[in-house]
Amino acid sequence: MKKINKAIFAGSAILASLVAFNANAVDEAFKANIELLSSITISEVQGLTFPAQVAGTAATVTVATSDAGAATFNITGIINAPVVASVSEASINMTDSVSGDEILVDAFTVDAGASALDASGVLNGIKVGATAHVDAADSQGSYEGDATFTVVYL
């Protein structure tokens, strides 16, 4: 019985010290908030178009953002908002639907990487270029692939 009483007394002493310690705690309230922005709208004006190449010849073909074949996009969103535009993938494959052959496309460039929407909430004519790697073994045909153009508020 004495052992039980000692255990209860020891437990009570520990509990009392914890309560005494908590009596010295200080609390501070804080606010949490979030602003929900209007979504950005992206319109593709033109897809990325590489110049035609001769089958059976290896080539590295680059379309710069200043070239006529560059992909072109218009975006709308919040007035004067800073944005950054990019291509989500580091590389994609364009595939010929007949032969199944693939051409690697990489080295995407965006001419308006970090920019801002204007006083109307518009940024038109953002250009995207890239490099296609044609292999001599690639079959004659029409190659297509999809990449993702992304724009986010900064």
Q: What is the DSSP string of 23-84?
A: TT-----------PPPPPEEEEEE---PPP--TTS-EEEEE-TTSTTSEEEEEE-STT-EEE
- pLDDT value for 64: 98
Q: Is 76 contained in some domain?
A: yes
What sign for the dihedral angle of Cα 110, 114, 117, 119?
negative
Q: Is 54 contained in some domain?
A: yes
Residue 30 and residue 85: Cα distance in Å, rounded? 35
DSSP state of 151: E
- pLDDT value for 15: 53
- pLDDT value for 25: 86
Q: Is 147 contained in some domain?
A: yes
Q: Is 110 contained in some domain?
A: yes
Note down the domain range covering 148: 41-153
Q: Is 16 contained in some domain?
A: no
Q: Is 36 contained in some domain?
A: no
- pLDDT value for 24: 80
Q: Is 128 contained in some domain?
A: yes
Q: Is 4 contained in some domain?
A: no
The count of domains in the chain is: 1
- pLDDT value for 142: 97
Residue 142 and residue 140: Cα distance in Å, rounded? 7
pLDDT beneath 50: ranges in the chain? 7
